Amino acid sequence: MRAFLIGFGFTVIALSAPAAAAEKAHLSVDASRAGAKIDRNIFGQFAEHLGQGIYEGIWVGPDSAIPNTRGIRNDVVAALRALKVPNVRWPGGCFADDYHWQKGVGSQRVVTLNPNWGGVVEPNAFGTDEFMDFLDQIGSDAYVSINVGSGTPREAAEWLEYMTAAEPTTLAQDRARNGHRAPYTIGFLGIGNESWACGGNMTADYYLDQLKIYTRFVRNFNPAQEGDRHMLKIAVGPGDGTTEWTETIMKAWQKHDWSWDFDGLSIHNYTVPHWPPSFASAEFGVSEYSQILKTTLAMEDLVKRQSAVMDKYDPQKKVALAVDEWGAWYAPLPGTNPAFLVQQNSLRDAILASLNLNIFARHADRVRMANIAQMINVLQAMIMTDKEKMLLTPTYYAFKMYVPFQDAAFVPVAFDAGTYTHGDTSLPRLDAIAAKDKSGKLWLEITNLDPDQPADIEASLAGFTAKSAAGETLTAPAVDSVNTFAAPGTVVPKPVPVEVKSGKLALRVAPKSVTVVSLEP
């Protein structure tokens, strides 16, 4: 077969050129065994009323000099549209169990405080209708977390009636008066948040009783949401690696009747080697890079352990595992309010994101939802803002590169990952996943964790004849390279030369990089 050399019009480098100190790796991609769908909802986001996640990050108000549509900043909307964000979890987090929705609707907003996150003033200017407008603008589904900790089933039931009733109930009329006659669609409903800690410090048994009450009485009235489009209810799962909580909830679920039910069980898992978070998010070296990546890879075991318990009570995998808070949690950036959880975002975070997304994809039959924490200005953010300025982070670009994997069918890839060692930390040198999209294209992602050595990849493609290929790589000069307002293009994806020859794909992946290759049938 003729060799195809594709490089987005850039000069193509012959792949047989001498590869100084490059490792060699063989991947066996078996496209004939396309499996579970990689649910697009694993690329979900999380936006909490915390620091400048909502206020400034999304909401600037209609009178702001920052270009906006009905108070929502246009630059952020445009950036998020490109990510095809499948769902946004809101209003928290810990904030959710302190949130009283009535204070955030209508023309008279109630000004309160945000006791979880620095005790700052919460103007309630961004409430239900603004959130729904934001989702509409970015083209995303709602994942609403209801208040189980300090709210009541009645308050939550009325919130759902406000959002979803099609009939002219008083609450539906309030909604119409507030600018939205048609009922909203709610993709996901979170029944509390971290109910074992900030959500009320409940035992699993106590939470289970609450879960039964809330899933019974908090109803979605939108007639368009029956059948396949029904609102998925997500129960709170464990907050650590133990399995007792999951046992309690799943055991009860196995015997549930018509009167209560849920569709997903959440887990939260931050990449943080020790609490309180002490690792710096900027200006670190290979040692911290290696330790953080080692820590993040523990997600695999966590998912396996929780899935094993779920398999026991739900072998048909009806209940999804929803990793609805994940990401790196570092020490607060010096000079910022520590309660605002501001951190830098580096190439390390893009690699960390790809490793986690690959773990979720490998468990696509069970992990059908995940939400990185958080979307803007908080923790491992996609976007950072400074008043009118906006910056796209390395994590943003990693998510952008993964867009083609949304709802694509998982394709197995076998490879010897090799080992990279720094001091007493050992990591797999490589990671990879593949998927086939609805148009028949094959997509391959390769992460090179090794900060020093490139890798020469040769991939055999069983069950797929590639006519052409193209690739993009995200890398940068150093593991701690960041994008700044002054230099926003330091860590951005660039085309990478790839070759298809005799049915095999060949490319060189740079050290410390995330690479995505598309193959046309």
Query: Which residues are the active-site residues?
Result: 194, 325
Residue (92 or 451) nearer to ligand AHR, CB: 92
Give the span between the Cα atoms of 264 and 321, in whole angstroms. Answer: 6
With contacts defined by CB under 6 A, how many residues of the chain interact with ligand AHR?
10
Give the shortest CB-378-to-ligand AHR separation in angstroms: 7
Among 39, 263, 325, 499, binds ligand AHR (CB under 6 A): 325
Residue 194 engages ligand AHR in binding (rule: CB under 6 A)? yes
Residue 288 engages ligand AHR in binding (rule: CB under 6 A)? no
Residue (50 or 478) nearer to ligand AHR, CB: 50
Confirm if 96 and 190 have CB atoms less than 8 A apart. Answer: yes
**In 68-131, at which residue ranges do the beta strands (DSSP E only) sit?**
68-69, 72-73, 87-90, 112-114, 120-122
Give the shortest CB-281-to-ligand AHR separation in angstroms: 15
**In 118-180, at which residue ranges do the beta strands (DSSP E only) sit?**
120-122, 141-146
Confirm if 299 and 359 have CB atoms less than 8 A apart. Answer: yes
The stretch among 65-73, 91-99, 179-187, 410-418 that binds ligand AHR (CB under 6 A) is: 91-99
The stretch among 141-149, 218-226, 299-307, 372-380 that binds ligand AHR (CB under 6 A) is: 372-380
Confirm if 518 and 471 have CB atoms less than 8 A apart. Answer: yes
Give the shortest CB-301-to-ligand AHR separation in angstroms: 20
Using omega within 30 degrees of 0 as the cis cutoff, is the peptide bond preceding 91 cis?
yes
Alpha-carbon Rg for the chain, nearest whole angstrom, is 23
Residue 373 engages ligand AHR in binding (rule: CB under 6 A)? yes
Give the span between the Cα atoms of 63 and 407, in whole angstroms. Answer: 39
Give the span between the Cα atoms of 246 and 228, in whole angstroms. Answer: 26
Residue 97 engages ligand AHR in binding (rule: CB under 6 A)? no
Residue 98 engages ligand AHR in binding (rule: CB under 6 A)? no
Pairing verdict, β 44-46 and 87-90? parallel
Residue 48 engages ligand AHR in binding (rule: CB under 6 A)? yes
Q: Hey, which residues does 376 pair with through a beta bridge?
A: 383
Residue (164 or 374) nearer to ligand AHR, CB: 374
Helix (H, G, I), strand (E, B) or coil at 390: strand
The stretch among 86-94, 102-110, 280-288, 469-477 that binds ligand AHR (CB under 6 A) is: 86-94
Integer CA distances (angstroms), 313 to 64, 190, 265, in order: 52, 21, 13
Residue (323 or 373) nearer to ligand AHR, CB: 373
Residue 193 engages ligand AHR in binding (rule: CB under 6 A)? yes
Residue (379 or 455) nearer to ligand AHR, CB: 379
Residue 122 engages ligand AHR in binding (rule: CB under 6 A)? no
Integer CA distances (angstroms), 466 to 5, 401, 504, in order: 12, 20, 8
* Residue at shortest CB range from ligand AHR: 93
Residue 92 engages ligand AHR in binding (rule: CB under 6 A)? yes
Give the shortest CB-444-to-ligand AHR separation in angstroms: 32
Q: Which two tokens stand for residue 248?
A: 């309690």
Give the shortest CB-199-to-ligand AHR separation in angstroms: 8
Q: Which two tokens stand for residue 143?
A: 């994942």
Confirm if 193 and 93 have CB atoms less than 8 A apart. Answer: yes
The stretch among 164-172, 373-381, 451-459, 491-499 that binds ligand AHR (CB under 6 A) is: 373-381
Give the span between the Cα atoms of 89 and 232, in whole angstroms. Answer: 13
Give the shortest CB-188-to-ligand AHR separation in angstroms: 15
Residue (93 or 454) nearer to ligand AHR, CB: 93
Give the span between the Cα atoms of 89 and 142, in whole angstroms. Answer: 7
- The four Cα atoms 495, 497, 500, 501 give a dihedral, to 10 degrees, of 180
The stretch among 101-109, 227-235, 255-263, 371-379 that binds ligand AHR (CB under 6 A) is: 371-379
What residues make contact with ligand AHR under the rule CB under 6 A? 48, 92-94, 193-194, 325, 373-374, 379
